[in-house]
Structure 1
Amino acid sequence: MLEMAKIIVYETREEIPVMYNPTELSLNKTVLVQGEGAHIQFQRVNSDDLTVSLFFDTYERQLDVRSKTNRIVALTVPSVGTNERKEPPVLIFTWSGPLFTGIIVKLDQKFTMFLSSGIPVRAELTVTFKAVLTEQEELSSRGYFNCRQLWQVKQGDRLDLIAQATLGDPTLWRLIAVSNGIGEPLNFPQTKDIGRALVIPDIHVGAGAANA
């Protein structure tokens, strides 16, 4: 049986199948670096936008093709997310397995056939997705799992104690705070921080660069 591509709404797990599979897909990665020559330093890996062309045809059934396409159009409408901000839903484009996770940032809809009544029965959608990463995926894209220490925050942790345990110097707590965007270090950890993975900066990188 032919496997059909689908768009899955991450939060609700709603599945929206396409009518016809795309004829091609381009999944690209961009490696961001800083510096030149012998001093190039890796920063992160970005997933480029994914653009897919989807074809819908309801002519044989004499139905309004918008009954199919409107489900995808609706995915561009922001709703209130878990952080109380209005934002479009996070989606998973899957075809024999997940291929891309992101939000729709552009949608072009073109109707190419109509009934005598003016009802559209054929449409082409060009959908552009921008990647959205989970916290773990964000850390992975920066290579933190490969080259830096991580510390999972637990109840009773303090930044100076974490600095002592990981860097051997409690006075380096400010480096950890800055590296992880902790705006209120004296109130750390808050409830939202429990279970969070902190990135421990590599204090030897700066020393190595200075000696180069």
Structure 2
Amino acid sequence: MLEKAKIIVQSSPTKTIPVMYNPTELSLNKTVLAAGEGSNVQFQRVVDDDLTVNLFFDTYDSKSDVRKYTDQIAALTKPTAGTGMRREPPTVVFSWAGALFTGMVVKLEQKFTLFLESGVPVRAELRVTFKSILTPQQDLASRGYANCRQFWTVAENDRLYLIAQHTLGDASLWRLIADANAIYDPLNFPTPADIGKTLVIIDVHGESYNPPARV
């Protein structure tokens, strides 16, 4: 039996939107971001490029409104997830013989190409663009931090200079830790939101360094 592609909405409960006809091709591309020039090129992260899928829907034989199917995908562009003032479309998984891409729908182009005499559309071509969404663990992996020497879980009494002294043996390197972890207000670190977060301690020595056991 032919495996059908589907879009799985990661809501509670999850919802599956079937694809009427499988796409004829898919391109799953990655881009490596790097900074610097010449001999001083440094890896920053790997980025999953947007996934664009062309989908075809046809309900002419049943003489039913094709929007019964296409509206389910159009609804994925609406901000239904999030809290407070931050709202965003739901996270979805494009699956075809297994999960291929996780992200949100950031662009939808709909073209209706066949209509009944009543004006009801019965054929549609959709071009759907997904933008990648990563879990915190996947985000760390995409930045190559799984290959770094060590991590640090933030505790209430931590200070950046103490973390630098403990992990790198030099308290003056605290700014490297701040920059690597996008800490823009080091004087107020850690805030309540920082407690429990994982910091990446980049390797500045070029060789293995074993800090003393944390007390």
Where on the TM-score scale, by shorter chain, does this alignment land: which range?
0.7 to 0.9
* Aligned ranges 1:40-189 → 2 under 5 Å: 40-82=41-83, 84-189=85-190
2:197 alignment partner in structure 1:
196
Listed one character per residue, the Cα deviations across residues 138-196 of structure 1 (whole Å, up to 9, x for unaligned) are 22111111134321224443333322221112343333223212234344333322332
Deviation of 1:127 (Å): 0.5
Answer yes or no: is 1:6 the counterpart of 2:6.
yes
Moved over 4 A (4+): none
Deviation of 1:64 (Å): 0.4
Runs of at least 5 residues in structure 2 that lack an aligned partner in the other structure? 207-215
Which residue identity is paired with 1:201? I
Which residue identity is paired with 1:29? K
Moved more, 148-157 or 43-52: 148-157
Identical pairs, percent:
65
3-state SS of the aligned residue for 1:204?
Answer: coil
Listed one character per residue, the Cα deviations across residues 83-116 of structure 1 (whole Å, up to 9, x for unaligned) are 6412222221111111111121211111111111
Which residue identity is paired with 1:69? T
Check the 8 A contact 2:151/2:198 in 1, yes or no: yes
When the two chains are superposed, the root-mean-square deviation of aligned CA atoms in Å is 2.1
Deviation of 1:36 (Å): 4.2
2:28 alignment partner in structure 1:
27
3-state SS of the aligned residue for 2:106?
Answer: strand
Which of the two has greater helix per residue? 1
Which residue identity is paired with 1:125? L
TM (norm. structure 1) is 0.86
